[in-house]
């Protein structure tokens, strides 16, 4: 007979940053939590700069601060973004749009944080968290009962939980177990990421260029005179970027960034990665006794850098709704989950529409479209009140 893990309030499937934040949040709220992950291995410490970084907004910052995680980060490796310069193409007459923290009445637009730094801080907090147990192993089956959900593990054991949270990424196993439909579209692009030293100081400015057939190039500020590249490149170009010498990649980048950042030098020449870009829209982010968060609930184009922020927004909303539920409802009650879905629907949909629309708009090679696009950017750049509202939305305010 299988050994049964005792009944828990919440079981979280997936141990990425969003899943770990959810586990900490619910445990600190006094609920009994199980964090289910396939491996107990911690993120390895390294002196090199992680090529995977996130631009965390104020919602993410406030959530991590409330969980006592933000101050546990190695803040010497965190860079504040104080401005953003968007260029509508590589031509001299391309549209330009500048956004800055001063105009939005804040000190920072965002913070650039390495994946490794974020996960190390979360792992440290989890070690000292009460009400939270990390369970190593994979889930094999989900069974639903009136009062709880049952997760059968590969070990033969089981976890009974009032609520199961799927934080297991874009290819979510839990979402598949719930038969939640999915709208999926591949962009035919890959995100190419690596880091560089730049000749000129970046002054905390994030730069982005929409370079017609070459895709979208973003250089995000890191501490010191370093920048992190996120190049959303068409598949064929991405393959070429990965195969050619890094000196060729530097030459391509300097064609657009040389005037503002000067010459680039690879931080770690062998550390360059690429990942496919997709749009994924599950038909629901809830099922009986199940809630999805992060990439399990939505995947958007990275051009706005808000994928991780949406995930932390999910956790923030679900935490708030569960804590405010009526005393006679458990945390997996259908009404509680319906409230979560309703609260998140508008923000997620707006971000999906915005990122998908911009990706399509800037991929167009039609001359009239490019002209209207550049005119629109230049006009928006001259409307401070509209820019302030746009920035406030991006900040999560």
- Hey, where are the domains in the chain? 4-46+117-183+280-357, 54-114+186-277+363-395
How far is Cα 384 from Cα 381, in angstroms, rounded to an integer?
7
Q: What is the value of pTM for the model shown?
A: 0.90
CATH code reported for the domain at 54-114+186-277+363-395: 3.30.9.10
How confident is the model over 50-70, as a mean pLDDT? 95
How far is Cα 190 from Cα 194, in angstroms, rounded to an integer?
13
Token reading at 44: 């390895």
Residue bearing tokens 């609930």: 297
Using the predicted structure, report yes or no on whether residue 359 has a pLDDT greater than 90: no
**Per-residue pLDDT at 375:** 58
Q: Which CATH architecture has domain 4-46+117-183+280-357?
A: 3-Layer(bba) Sandwich (3.50)
Domains 4-46+117-183+280-357 and 54-114+186-277+363-395 share a fold: no
How far is Cα 150 from Cα 148, in angstroms, rounded to an integer?
7
Using the CB atoms, write b or e for 292-318: b if 16+ within 10 Å: bbbbbbbbbbbbbbbbbbbbbbbbbbb
Of residues 198 and 47, more confidently modeled: 198
CB-based contacts of 338: which residues, under 8 Å, 6+ apart? 286
**Per-residue pLDDT at 364:** 57
Answer left, alpha or beta for residue 396, where phi above 0 means left and psi between -120 and 50 means alpha: left
**Per-residue pLDDT at 210:** 85
Answer left, alpha or beta for residue 385, where phi above 0 means left and psi between -120 and 50 means alpha: alpha
Best CA proximity match to 233, nearest among 246, 251, 214: 214
254-263: pLDDT as tens digits? 999 999 999 9
How far is Cα 91 from Cα 108, in angstroms, rounded to an integer?
29
Residues 161 and 8: beta-carbon distance below 8 Å: yes
How far is Cα 139 from Cα 156, in angstroms, rounded to an integer?
10
Confidence of residue 199 (pLDDT cuts 50, 70, 90): very high
């Amino acid at each position: 007979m299988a050994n049964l893990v005792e009944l828990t309030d919440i079981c979280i499937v997936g141990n990425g940053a969003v899943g770990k934040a959810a586990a900490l949040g619910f445990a600190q709220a006094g609920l009994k939590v199980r964090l289910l992950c396939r491996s107990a291995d911690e993120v390895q410490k390294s002196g090199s700069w992680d090529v995977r970084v996130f631009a965390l907004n104020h919602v993410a910052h406030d959530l991590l601060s409330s969980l006592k995680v933000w101050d546990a980060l190695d803040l010497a490796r965190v860079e504040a973004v104080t401005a953003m310069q968007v260029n509508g193409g590589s031509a001299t007459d391309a549209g330009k749009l500048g956004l800055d923290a001063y105009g939005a009445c804040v000190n920072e637009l965002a913070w650039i944080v390495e994946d490794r730094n974020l996960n190390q801080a979360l792992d440290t907090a989890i070690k000292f968290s009460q009400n939270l147990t990390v369970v190593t192993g994979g889930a094999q089956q989900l069974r639903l009962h009136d009062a709880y959900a049952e997760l059968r593990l590969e070990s033969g054991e089981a976890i009974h939980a009032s609520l199961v949270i799927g934080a297991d990424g874009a290819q979510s196993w839990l979402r598949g177990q719930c038969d939640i439909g999915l709208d999926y579209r591949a962009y035919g692009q890959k995100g190419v990421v690596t880091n560089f030293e730049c000749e000129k100081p970046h002054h905390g400015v994030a730069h982005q260029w929409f370079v017609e057939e070459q895709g979208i190039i973003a250089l995000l500020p890191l501490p010191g005179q370093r920048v992190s590249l996120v190049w959303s490149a068409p598949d064929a170009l991405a393959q070429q970027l990965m195969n050619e010498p890094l000196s060729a990649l530097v030459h391509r980048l300097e064609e657009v960034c040389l005037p503002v950042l000067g010459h680039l030098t690879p931080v770690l020449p062998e550390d360059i990665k690429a990942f496919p870009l997709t749009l994924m829209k599950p038909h629901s982010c809830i099922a009986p006794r199940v809630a999805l968060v992060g990439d399990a609930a939505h995947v958007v184009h990275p051009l706005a850098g808000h994928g991780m922020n949406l995930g932390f927004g999910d956790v923030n909303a679900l935490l708030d709704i569960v804590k405010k539920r009526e005393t006679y409802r458990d945390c997996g009650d259908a009404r509680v989950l319906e409230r979560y879905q309703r609260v998140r629907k508008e923000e997620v949909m707006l971000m999906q529409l915005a990122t998908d629309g911009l990706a399509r708009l800037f991929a167009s090679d039609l001359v009239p479209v490019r002209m209207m696009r550049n005119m629109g950017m230049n006009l928006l750049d001259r409307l401070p009140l509209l820019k302030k509202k746009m920035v406030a939305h991006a900040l999560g305010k």
